[in-house]
Amino acid sequence: MQRYGTAPVPARDRRGYHRQVARWKDGLRRVLYPAYESRVAKFLPADRIPQHIGVMLDGNRRWAKAVGADTADGYQAGADNIRPLLGWCEEVGVKVVTLWLLSTDNLNRPPEQLTGLMRVIEGAVESLAAERRWHVHPVGALDLLPASTAARLKAAEEATRDIDGILVNIAVGYGGRREIADAVRSLLQEHAAAGTTLEELADVIDVEHIAEHLYTKGQPDPDLVIRTSGEQRLGGFLLWQSAHSEFYFCEALWPDFRRVDFLRAIRAYAERERRYGS
């Protein structure tokens, strides 16, 4: 037995007590968080909102394990949290969002796990396209993906090409090193077709030449990169583009990432003084 106050409490009653406390805390959060969120949102400076946010949606499998669910359920729970995120971005005025859903390293996972993940990604992207609110743009080495997956991603992009909403980069089969290698390869091929020699190209090549061949060419670099699940590393995400980005690492696993977590990230960004290396 354990004592609460002066009287011993049986184990059965102790479990009931803890459940009651948990329900009370949950109820308190439901009452207080909306007011807290509103206050944070109200005081965000309109002139310090990031225009491009990169998000590493990390922690889906750990979330599934924590709640006793299958890995596929974790992937789906993560996919279900994408639409709310984009809504929050709309609220504060973000223009571009890059979502890292699948890395090139992830392609080495067991086939049965990868098949389920591809199915979730396909469904998530098609769902976003069906909203007709956002311009969906796949980025990554689509040639490494199953042909059916690549085709469905390209179809979602084509279906939303005329949408004047947030530009949503869907990073699937994406790796930062692979992107830079692909950019250099594309640059060399372009100049070879134009008859430029290697010596001539070596004399003039600069960072802008490579930037023009990245998956995100023509887009602003990310102002803010958010990673969930407590991990504090890039893991190859937007290596070139994030040279001057601010980073925000959140403890919440991606399926548990809430509007209040998002607003805290935006507030943290707004409070920083960006020096761009100077």
Average pLDDT over residues 166-181: 97
106 has catalytic annotation: yes
Is the pLDDT at 16 greater than 70? The verdict is no
CA distance 65 to 117: 16
Model pLDDT for residues 22-64, shown as the tens digit of each residue: 565 555 566 666 777 877 777 799 999 999 999 999 999 999 9
Is the pLDDT at 76 greater than 70? The verdict is yes
In a domain, 242, yes or no: yes
In a domain, 2, yes or no: no
- Mean of all residue pLDDT scores within the chain: 90
- Domains in the chain, number: 1
The one catalytic residue in 81, 106, 169, 256 is 106
Instruction: Give bridge partners of residue 96 from the DSSP assignment.
Output: 52, 167
Task: Name the phi and psi angles at 193, rounded to 5.
Answer: -65, -30
Is the pLDDT at 11 greater than 60? The verdict is no
In a domain, 163, yes or no: yes
13 has catalytic annotation: no
- The gap from C-alpha 109 to its chain's centroid, in whole angstroms, comes to 20
pLDDT the model gives residue 37? 80
Model pLDDT for residues 208-235, shown as the tens digit of each residue: 999 999 999 999 999 999 999 999 999 9
Average pLDDT over residues 177-181: 97
In a domain, 156, yes or no: yes
In a domain, 227, yes or no: yes
In a domain, 170, yes or no: yes
In a domain, 210, yes or no: no
**51 neighbors 223 (Cβ within 8 angstroms):** yes
- Determine the residue type at 185: R
- Of the pLDDT bands very low, low, confident and very high (cuts 50, 70, 90), residue 170 is very high
pLDDT the model gives residue 138? 98
SS (H, E, C) 221-270: CCCEEEECCCCCCCCCCCCCHHHHCEEEECCCCHHHCCHHHHHHHHHHHH
pLDDT the model gives residue 30? 64
pTM of the model: 0.86
Model pLDDT for residues 102-146, shown as the tens digit of each residue: 999 999 988 888 999 999 999 999 999 999 999 999 999 999 999
The one catalytic residue in 58, 221, 223, 256 is 58
CATH number at residue 249: 3.40.1180.10
Task: Name the phi and psi angles at 273, rounded to 5.
Answer: -100, 110
